[in-house]
Amino acid sequence: MVEVRMEQVNYRSKTLFHEINSDDDELYFVIFADSWEDEPVSKVESKIIDVFVKYSNKFSIDDVDKAVLPYRYRDDEDEDNTITLRFCLKRKTKDIQINDLLTAKANGSIYGDIYLINSIKHVIYHLYDDRGLDIISSQKKPLEKLYVNYNHWILDGLTCSLSSIKRIKYSQLLDIIL
């Protein structure tokens, strides 16, 4: 049963990714990870670099843009020194081992939150785990085909008709259930 479920997760996540991205598209391969006081930055950084090494062709550490940010989920009562690290690598889709990357993320074997950003098509793809993924766009055109062809994969609260998607004017989010 679990094996069948994971086959479905892998099929859907890869199908949707390839539906909105072509091999020659430039992507920003972005990973966010948090470093707590008991886990040094160097350890977190090492885990992230390992992801880039494993899933991107022609990897060079010089190509990675790294930023140290305030903890992204901080609330007013937090007193620890947790920080968020953001790593970004620009690559063509064909230079990222997408199918392996998505399988590993769905299986929970990748550290951090991964976003694949297509700046030309204005689409952000975020597979959070085997429960689902988000596809976000500032334009409706990249999402129309997904609404039409994969409407049955979209969470019930977000399912809508093609006529309603054509009326949408602002940034949109598809929350896909896998």
Tell me 32's DSSP state.
Answer: E
Distance CA 5, CA 77 (A): 39
* CATH number of this structure's domain 26-120: 3.30.70
pLDDT tens-place values along the chain, 178 residues long: 778 888 988 999 999 999 999 999 999 999 999 888 778 788 889 999 999 999 999 889 999 999 998 888 877 776 678 889 999 999 999 999 999 999 999 999 998 999 999 999 999 999 988 788 889 888 888 888 888 888 888 765 444 444 444 444 434 444 444 4
Q: Where do the structural domains in the chain lie, given as residue ranges?
A: 1-21+131-178, 26-120
Closest CA to 135 of 110, 154, 112: 154
Give me the pLDDT at residue 79, please. 67
Looking at residue 155, what is its pLDDT?
66
Q: What per-residue confidence (pLDDT) applies to 35?
A: 86
Length of the chain: 178
Q: DSSP state, 24?
A: T
Using DSSP bridges, classify how beta strands 172-177 and 132-137 pair: parallel, antiparallel or unpaired: antiparallel
Residue 79 tokens read as 């007193």
Joined together, the tokens standing for residue 20 give: 């909105």
Q: Using CA of residue 148, residue 158, residue 29, residue 57, what is the dihedral sign?
A: negative
Amino acid at 126: H
| CA proximity to 129, closest of 35, 10, 48, 18 | 10
| Structure tokens given for 120 | 């030309």
Provide the terminal-to-terminal Cα distance of the chain, rounded to the nearest Å: 15
Q: What per-residue string of b and e applies to 123-132 under the rule 16 or more CB within 10 Å gives b?
A: bbbbbeebeb
